Structures are given as structure tokens and as C-alpha cells.
């Protein structure tokens, strides 16, 4: 068993950045809490016997949130060999509050003083030697972002672990210390000697998660000492310890120096006065996301995608592969599998990789500079009116890369009802797997129209808001939204290396998926569209897939795309959303069209009208996510709620797409008034009723009672 060094600290202090620097891992780094919701492990580079553990960022070890529970349970029960406490030097006093708790665990502690460049820029100075002397533990100045002194801090923690010299806890006032000493005698023998101080403090605070097999007499004695201090200080025990910790943190910070001119508005404060402004904030957010999708879908990304689709997968790869197959004299079925199945299917998906990389680059820049955290704060104002909080938007931000970590990030939401609703609605925000669908519809059927990409994003936001309103008026989800408190990190210019690494991580995950899941899926699609039930090679319209698709097609006909190929593509998206494009690539003859010199995807215009194409796009954006994301929902909520989530997502996708096509076709003259239009009107009326109906009386009474209490 190797030596274990745990990284502990506040959110946004640089823990995960330090973890990546020490281990060479690529854990996602974000400027908001909730990015790390589980313990991550990696070996220290060059020291295979040293394991570095990245714990969720916490402000305290008094567990109110999931992150605090995960971090505290690990530190108390599993006990690493040493703790490397990362401190944001620009917020020294606040960070030292957690340090005072870590030093009570009976473990060696080393301080890594991060972000010293920010302190100097603000005109401050911190003497690490003075802080080390005041705390009695080693202090190392580092820059996790630049990789400066990171290894030195880790090696200092290794030396501390080898010495087995536990950190000496800070001391409080005389009356508190007297009570803690007496409580310590009561817990002695019921816990490890090194944990005596920890349990004494927790019992003094009446911590609900602290359990020791104490007799009733011991409990009464402990309660008497607590009451004595409470009466003397005219305050409750938890507040007494909290205030004492802050006093210690303030003294330690003062002894170490000054943090800078915090009384003046910083550059970040001045920017926030604009981008988080009550009236300007949301229009700026809309403009930023419009620009992101415009660059990705309509301009820079499109230019590169056109070359990949038309040249690389149009004029270079298919003819070359066909030549190799001809030279090898391969049988007809193998030629079809390779050209019409693998090259057409996988190539159609990879063709949109350039647009995805531009999107990933833009999102990585916004995350690293600190703007994404402001979006969560901004959306809290909007979401709160509709029954959600800004904390629900954080999983949705994370879900722009992949829905699975977005769903997992919902663990940070304490309110169970809000958490369930967040899990159900998180995948409405377009993830990377849905971008090829957006790009395909925008490019092939809307001529690269600038508005298609941004509108897809805001359709997802609108679906979340409407779902929040409707679901909050039901018994399953009723209740006030959870409070949302969030630290806004200072803006900074992202490092080119960090932005490119984030972009490549997501792009590589997409490429890997194309080479595995999508490869297998398009191979299966080719087989089903090439053979009939007697395993004879037949025309596409006589194939197994056509037989299945013709059964499904009537279900989607009211949505405007009753062609069996479109129906099969939509169903294949349940495996992986990229399969929608891959399946269309196989069924519409990607390789053949390219070989004939006709514009790729042009044949799709024969099946989709513009209104039907947008209906198809919205259905695939809102419908149940891929199998991996559904599996994540099941792990988080269980089987029953997974069925509810998938059912709600599919139903919402269907009715919204139905309304879009029926009303859109009526307005554009693509279809006349009919049964579908009547159904759309009924659905719209019911939807508006659910949206604007008053709060149920029972819930209104509960809320009034809560206010009176």
C-alpha cells in the first residue's frame, strides 16, 4: 500500500489544478463548486509509491453539503498519511478557517500557499515563514497554474508523513479549552488517541454526524460542560466554536502579513458590475452564447468542417479505400461494409469534429477566465422565479461537454426534490454529442443559417425553465428552491496550455467514442439496411431496417418526418446521440454522394422540409439522452425515477416537436389545417394551463406555514 497524500482546501483554491500538475492526470478544472464530487486518485509523477488524492473543495468539515460529507468521511475514517492543505493566498483568512479544522484530525499537515501572484498584484504581501511559525507546520509557496514549486510541496508532505508528526491544533479561549479538556477525558478510550481533540470539538458543537458509544452519564457530563460555556458566552455551542475559529484565522492572517487592498474595487469587481447587472447581465449572456455557437456552427467551424466533409471524407478517403479494396479483390459485402458502413457512418460523424473543437475551445476559455461562474449566478435570478436555483444550473454548465458528469454534479444539491428535477432537465442543454446533429441540420437544411446553433442552446434553456414551472406545481417536486451561495472567482487570462488541454480532452473523448460505440452502431445499421430477414443482400427499401423503420415511421409522421430513415436515426440516438448523424450518413449514402461529386447531405433535402428539419432537431435535443447518461440517472436516482425521467423527456420532446411542425407548416404553407393541427392546439392549451395554473392550495398552505414558522 502506497503513501497517501490528501489534497484539501476551499473550492476554487487550485486543488484540481495542483492534482493534475502532480499526477499528469486530466481531471476537469472549473471555476465553480461541484466540479469534484468524488475522491480522485493518481500517483505522484516520479514517485510511484506516493498516491495523491483530490478531495472535493469544502469551506468547513461541518457537513452541510455532499462535498463536505465526502471530504470529512474520508479524512476521519480512512485517514491519509498526510494532508496537503491548498490555501488561496488572496483569501488567506477565510481559507485558514478550514485549516484550523484540518489540524485537529491528528494528522501531519503541510500548507501549499497558492495564488501568491494575485496577492502581489493587489499590493499585498504574505510571509510564509511567519505563517509556518504561527501554525507550527511547513508552508510552501506554489503556483498550481504555472506549475511552480508543486512537486516541492508534495515532497514536503511526503516528509511530514514519514515523520508521523501530527499538526498541533490551534487553541481557543480558556473556558472553551477547559470544556474541551473535560470532554476529552470522557471520549478517551472510545476513539484513537490522535482523534481525541477532533471528537471533543465535534461533541462540543453537538455535531449530528458524530457518533461514539458513550454511556448516558458521560453524555450528561459533556452536556453540562457545554451548557456552562454557552451560559458564560450567551451563545450556542456551534456559534461559539465558529467565532473562535474565525478569531484564530484572523490572528494567523495578521501574523503572516497583509493580503492586499481589498477595500478598493478590483478589475473583476468592475467587470461584474456590467456582466452581472440586473438589466445587462442576461442580454450579455445571450450575446456571448450566440457568438460561441456562431463561431462554431456558422463561420470558423464550418470552414474547417466543409474541408473535412467535402475533401477529406469526400475526395480523398473513400476513393483511396475503394482502391485498396479493389486491389485486394474483396467480396462485395465487405466493400459495402467498409465504404457504405464504416467510412460513411464514422466519417459523417468525424466530419463535424472541427466545429466541436471550436465550441470546446470557446467554452474552455469562458470556463477558465471565470465567466461561466457568473452565468450560474445570473441564472439563479431567473431560475429562482421558476422553482429552481443557480445551483441547478452548475450541472447544466458541466453537461455542455457530456451529460454524464453533469448528472453526477447534481449530487451537490442538498434538496432531494430539486436534485431530482435537475437530473431530469440537465440533458436538455446540448452536449457535445448533440453538436453534430445541430451542425448537420444547420448546414445541410438551413444553408448554414446563423440562428440555428444559438437557438438550439436556448431551446434547451427554455425547456428547463418551463419544466421547472410545471414540475414545481406537482407534489413530487413542490417546495421552495434551495438557497444558492457561490464564490465568484477573480477573472484571469486563461493559459493557452490549459485551454488547449480542455479542448483536446473533450475532442479525444469524442474521437474515442466514434471509434468504439459509433463504429459498432453504424456497422449494425449497415448490416440491417443491407440484408433482409433471409440474410440476402437486397435494396435498402427491402431490408430489415426498412421493415423496422416503416413500423416506427407513422409515430413520427405528425412531427413532419415520417420517412423511415429519419425515424431509425432518431431511435439510434438513444445509444449515442452521435449515432443520429452516423445513421443518416449510412442511410443517405454519404460515401456515394461524395463520390458522385454532389454536395454532401444534399439528398436529405428531399426528405426534410425546413420546418420538419427543425422539428427533428428539437426532438433529438430534448429526447432521452444516450444509454450512458440514462445509466448515470439510474445510479443517481434509482430505477423508478429513471423511468419517470426518460418518460418525461420523451413526452416533452414529442409534444414540442409536434407543435413546432404543425404550427410552422401551417404558417409557411407547407401543410394545411388538419387533425395534427387540432392535436397541436389541444397540446398547446394544456401546456399553457400547466404553465400558468395557480399553485395548488395544499402547497400554498405549506408555504404560508413555513413563512409563519
Residues 587/589/590/596 CA torsion (nearest 10 deg): -170
Residue 30: band (very low, low, confident or very high) from pLDDT cuts 50, 70, 90: very low
Tell me the C-alpha distance between 646 and 652, whole Å: 10
Per the annotation, does 372 bind a ligand?
Answer: no
Give the model's confidence band at 26: pLDDT under 50 very low, under 70 low, under 90 confident, else very high: low
Q: Would the annotation count 10 as a binding residue?
A: yes
Q: Which of 132, 163, 194 is the last residue of a domain?
A: 163
Q: What is the mean pLDDT of the chain?
A: 84
- How many domains does the structure of the chain reveal? 3
The answer to whether 552 is a known ligand-binding residue is no
The CA distances from residue 341 to 103, 378, 503, 529, in Å, are 61, 46, 29, 10
- What φ, ψ does residue 258 adopt, rounded to 5°? -125, 150
Consult the annotation and say whether 24 binds a ligand. yes
Q: 106 with 150, same domain?
A: yes
Residues 191 and 142 in one domain: no
* Dihedral sign for Cα atoms in the order 368, 371, 372, 373: positive
Q: Which domain holds residue 395?
A: 281-321+337-498+541-692
Does 431 belong to an annotated binding site? no
168 within some domain: no
Is 114 annotated as a binding-site member? yes
pLDDT class of 153 with cuts at 50, 70, 90: very high
Residue 375: inside a domain: yes
User: Is 108 a member of any domain?
Assistant: yes
Span 410-425, pLDDT tens digits? 877 777 888 898 899 9
Inform me whether the pLDDT recorded for 444 exceeds 90: no
Answer yes or no: is 117 a known binding residue.
yes
Alpha carbons within 13 angstroms on the beta-carbon side of residue 589 total: 13
23 is in an annotated binding site: yes
Question: Same domain for 71 and 131?
Answer: yes
**Could you tell me if residue 199 is inside a domain?**
yes
Is pLDDT above 70 for 274? Answer: yes
Clarify whether residues 441 and 494 are in a common domain: yes
**550 labelled ligand-binding:** no
Q: Is 299 annotated in some ligand binding site?
A: no
pLDDT tens for 467-480 read: 988 888 888 887 77
148 and 296, same structural domain? no
pTM of the complete model: 0.74
pLDDT at 405: 82
Do 118 and 241 lie in one domain? The reply is: no
Does 13 belong to an annotated binding site? yes
* 116 is known to lie in a ligand binding site: yes
Instruction: Say if residue 694 carries a ligand binding annotation.
Output: no
248 shares a domain with 308:
no
Q: Is 330 a domain residue? A: no
**How far, in Å, are 274, 278, 374 from residue 378 at the CA level?**
12, 8, 6
**Is position 90 within any domain?**
yes
Sign of CA pseudo-dihedral 352, 358, 360, 362 = negative
**Where are the alpha helices (H) located in 188-262, listed in sequence order?**
196-204, 216-233, 237-256
Same-domain status, 45 and 178: no
Asked whether residue 31 is marked as a ligand-binding residue, the answer is no
Task: Decide if 708 is inside a domain.
Answer: no
Identify the domain boundary among 243, 258, 273: 258
Q: Is 85 annotated as a binding residue?
A: no
- At 7, list the grid cell: 489534497
Q: Is 242 annotated as a binding residue?
A: no
Final residue before a domain boundary, out of 105, 140, 163: 163
Q: Judging by beta carbons within 10 Å of its beta carbon (0-12, 13-18, 19+), is residue 577 exposed, middle or buried?
A: buried
Mark whether 113 and 35 lie in a shared domain. yes
| Mean local confidence (pLDDT), 43-48 | 87
One domain for residues 309 and 251 = no
Residue 9 among known ligand-binding residues:
yes
Looking at the structure, tell me whether residues 210 and 311 fall in a common domain. no
Which CATH number belongs to the domain containing residue 83 in this structure? 3.40.50.300
Q: Is the pLDDT of residue 13 over 90?
A: no
Q: Does the residue 513 lie in any domain? A: no
Task: Judge if 442 and 565 occupy the same domain.
Answer: yes
Residue 216: give its domain's CATH number. Answer: 1.10.287.1770
User: Grid coordinates representing 602?
Assistant: 444534399
16 among the known binding-site residues? Answer: yes
Report the pLDDT value the prediction gives residue 298, as an integer from 0 to 100: 77
Amino acid at each position: 500500500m502506497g503513501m497517501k497524500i490528501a489534497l484539501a482546501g476551499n473550492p476554487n483554491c487550485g486543488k484540481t489544478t495542483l492534482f493534475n500538475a502532480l499526477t499528469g492526470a486530466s481531471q476537469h478544472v472549473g471555476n465553480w463548486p461541484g466540479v469534484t464530487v468524488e475522491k480522485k486518485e493518481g500517483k505522484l509523477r516520479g514517485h510511484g509509491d506516493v498516491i495523491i488524492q483530490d478531495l472535493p473543495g469544502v469551506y468547513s468539515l461541518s457537513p452541510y453539503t455532499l462535498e463536505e460529507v465526502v471530504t470529512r468521511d474520508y479524512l476521519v475514517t480512512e485517514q491519509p498519511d498526510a494532508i496537503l492543505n491548498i490555501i488561496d493566498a488572496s483569501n488567506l483568512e477565510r481559507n485558514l478557517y478550514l485549516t484550523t479544522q484540518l489540524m485537529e484530525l491528528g494528522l501531519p499537515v503541510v500548507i501549499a500557499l497558492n495564488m501568491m501572484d494575485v496577492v502581489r498584484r493587489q499590493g499585498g504581501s504574505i510571509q510564509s515563514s511567519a505563517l509556518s511559525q504561527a501554525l507550527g507546520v511547513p508552508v510552501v509557496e506554489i503556483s498550481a497554474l504555472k506549475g511552480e514549486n508543486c512537486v516541492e510541496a508534495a515532497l514536503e508532505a511526503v516528509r511530514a508523513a514519514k515523520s508521523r508528526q501530527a499538526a498541533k491544533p490551534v487553541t481557543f479561549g480558556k473556558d472553551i479549552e477547559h470544556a474541551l479538556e473535560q470532554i476529552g477525558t470522557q471520549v478517551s478510550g472510545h476513539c484513537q488517541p490522535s482523534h481525541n481533540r477532533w471528537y471533543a470539538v465535534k461533541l462540543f458543537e453537538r455535531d449530528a454526524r458524530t457518533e461514539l458509544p458513550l454511556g448516558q452519564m458521560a453524555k450528561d457530563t459533556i452536556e453540562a460542560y457545554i451548557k456552562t460555556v454557552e451560559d458564560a458566552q450567551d451563545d450556542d455551542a456551534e456559534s461559539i466554536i465558529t467565532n473562535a475559529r474565525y478569531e484564530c484565522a484572523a490572528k494567523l492572517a495578521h501574523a503572516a502579513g497583509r493580503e492586499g487592498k481589498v477595500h478598493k474595487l478590483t478589475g473583476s469587481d468592475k467587470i461584474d458590475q456590467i456582466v452581472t447587472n440586473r438589466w445587462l447581465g442576461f442580454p450579455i449572456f445571450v450575446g456571448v452564447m450566440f457568438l460561441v455557437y456562431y463561431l462554431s456552427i456558422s463561420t470558423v467551424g464550418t470552414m474547417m468542417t466543409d474541408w473535412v466533409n467535402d475533401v477529406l471524407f469526400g475526395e480523398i478517403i473513400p476513393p483511396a479505400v475503394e482502391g485498396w479494396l479493389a486491389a485486394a479483390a474483396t467480396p462485395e459485402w465487405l466493400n459495402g461494409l467498409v465504404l457504405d458502413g464504416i467510412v460513411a457512418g464514422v466519417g459523417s460523424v468525424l466530419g463535424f469534429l472541427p466545429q466541436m473543437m471550436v465550441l470546446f475551445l470557446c467554452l474552455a476559455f469562458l470556463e477558465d477566465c471565470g465567466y461561466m461562474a457568473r452565468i450560474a449566478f445570473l441564472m439563479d435570478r431567473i431560475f429562482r422565479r421558476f422553482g429552481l436555483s443557480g445551483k441547478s444550473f452548475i450541472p447544466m454548465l458541466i453537461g455542455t461537454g457530456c451529460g454524464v458528469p453533469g448528472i453526477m454534479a447534481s449530487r451537490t444539491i442538498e434538496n432531494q426534490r430539486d436534485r431530482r428535477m435537475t437530473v431530469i432537465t440537465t440533458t436538455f442543454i446540448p452536449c457535445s454529442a448533440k453538436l453534430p446533429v445541430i451542425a448537420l441540420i444547420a448546414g445541410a437544411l438551413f444553408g448554414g443559417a446563423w440562428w440555428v446553433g444559438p437557438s438550439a442552446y436556448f431551446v434547451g434553456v427554455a425547456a428547463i425553465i418551463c419544466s421547472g414551472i410545471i414540475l414545481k406545481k406537482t407534489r413530487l417536486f413542490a417546495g421552495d428552491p434551495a438557497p444558492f451561495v457561490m464564490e465568484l472567482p477573480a477573472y484571469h487570462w486563461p493559459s493557452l496550455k490549459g485551454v488547449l488541454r480542455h479542448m483536446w480532452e473533450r475532442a479525444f473523448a469524442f474521437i474515442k467514442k466514434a471509434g468504439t460505440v459509433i463504429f459498432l452502431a453504424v456497422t449494425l445499421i449497415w448490416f440491417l439496411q443491407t440484408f433482409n430477414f433471409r440474410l440476402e443482400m437486397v435494396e435498402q427499401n427491402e431490408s430489415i431496417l426498412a421493415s423496422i423503420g416503416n413500423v416506427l415511421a407513422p409515430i413520427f409522421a405528425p412531427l413532419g418526418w415520417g420517412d423511415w430513415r429519419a425515424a431509425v436515426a432518431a431511435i439510434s440516438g438513444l445509444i449515442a446521440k452521435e449515432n443520429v448523424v452516423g445513421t443518416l450518413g449510412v442511410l443517405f449514402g454519404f460515401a456515394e454522394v461524395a463520390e458522385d461529386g454532389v454536395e454532401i447531405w444534399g439528398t436529405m433535402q428531399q426528405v426534410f422540409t425546413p420546418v420538419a428539419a427543425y422539428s427533428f432537431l428539437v426532438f433529438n435535443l430534448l429526447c432521452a439522452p444516450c444509454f450512458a447518461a440514462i445509466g448515470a440517472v439510474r445510479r443517481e436516482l434509482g430505477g423508478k425515477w429513471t423511468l419517470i425521467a426518460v418518460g418525461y423527456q420523451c413526452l416533452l420532446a414529442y409534444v414540442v416537436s409536434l407543435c413546432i411542425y404543425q404550427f410552422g407548416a401551417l404558417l409557411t404553407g407547407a401543410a394545411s389545417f388538419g387533425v395534427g393541427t387540432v392535436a397541436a392546439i389541444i397540446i398547446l392549451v394544456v401546456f399553457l394551463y400547466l404553465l400558468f395554473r395557480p399553485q395548488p392550495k395544499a402547497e400554498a398552505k405549506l408555504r404560508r406555514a413555513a413563512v409563519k414558522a
